[in-house]
Amino acid sequence: MSNTKVSALTGLTTPSSTDELYIVDVSDTTDGASGTSKKITHSNFYKVDTIAENTSAAGVTIDGVLLKDSIVKVIGTNGLIFDLTNDITVTASNPGAARVATIPGLAADDTFVFLAETQTLTNKTVELTSNTITFPAVRVSNSANQSINDSSDTALSWNTEDFDTGMHAAGNPTRITITTAGIYMFVAQVTWPANATGTRQCYMKLNNTTNMANNNINAAASRGTDHQITEVRSFAANDYVEVIAYQTSGAPINVETDSFFAAYYLRGAV
């Protein structure tokens, strides 16, 4: 090729990896075959382990991703998306220090959704307005005494929700229903007035078929009779639990208003 100014050559926007670049040795004044200037392929020219910033503290931007000191910043509207087979692990140089994740532009009613180990949604959210994590939980009671007939297994009804994330409904007032599969702790307290005759019993029942936690004690004439029962087990979604009361005084007796029934989500199913 005859002598041609570089500015007159055809521009190339997508060089091949085997295209060659001319590396000029500034000490070579001959520019001849015996000189010290060299050639390098395009692929080898960009094969480096370190890219240094040109302006101090400005960082290096590669196709919209800014690398600056200890910061990785995505410039654009699509955010940062990880499409990986393996988990992402972030290791802090000072693990004991607090870390804050800031996501600009979120509305007050936006939520973060956490995934269980099975990668299915499990009804756990972080509300931005209160910065609290909400798990399924409920505690119910009754504002009136409930009459329990003699020798009759009776499911207790609850008309007051002390707190509830959707596990108790007025249409099924005796039930606490599992909204999210997992391991739960159920707690119940059942109180009876003083009466010396017979026994008092309460127990939890799953899906009206399986008896669970149970307590059976003799009645007392001088004071009321109280039961506290607890059950911890794995439940499926839509399972429901009831508290059953039973007594053998020979006549109807009330379950009193300081009785309650509660359930708390502990963790996902194992």
Instruction: Give residue 177's pLDDT.
Output: 97
Architecture category of domain 137-267 in CATH? Sandwich (2.60)
Max mean pLDDT among 38-42, 77-81, 109-113, 123-127 falls in 38-42
Would you state the pLDDT for residue 94? 56
Q: Name which of 118-122, 133-137, 207-211, 223-227 the model is least confident about.
A: 118-122
Q: What pLDDT, on the 0 to 100 scale, is given for residue 207? A: 98
- Mean pLDDT over 261-266 rounds to 95
Spatial distance between the Cα atoms of 52 and 38, rounded to a whole number of angstroms: 23
Q: Which residues pair with 62 in a beta bridge?
A: 65
pLDDT tens digits, 178-206:
998 999 999 999 999 999 999 999 999 99
Give strand ranges (E) for the chain: 20-23, 38-41, 60-62, 65-68, 71-74, 111-115, 121-127, 132-134, 137-141, 146-148, 154-155, 160-164, 176-177, 182-192, 199-206, 210-218, 225-235, 240-247, 253-255, 260-267
8: DSSP letter? G
Residues 49, 69: Cα–Cα separation, whole Å = 16
> Range(s) for CATH 2.60.120.40 in the chain?
137-267
Which pair of structure tokens corresponds to residue 11?
């521009």
Is the pLDDT at 100 greater than 60? The verdict is: no
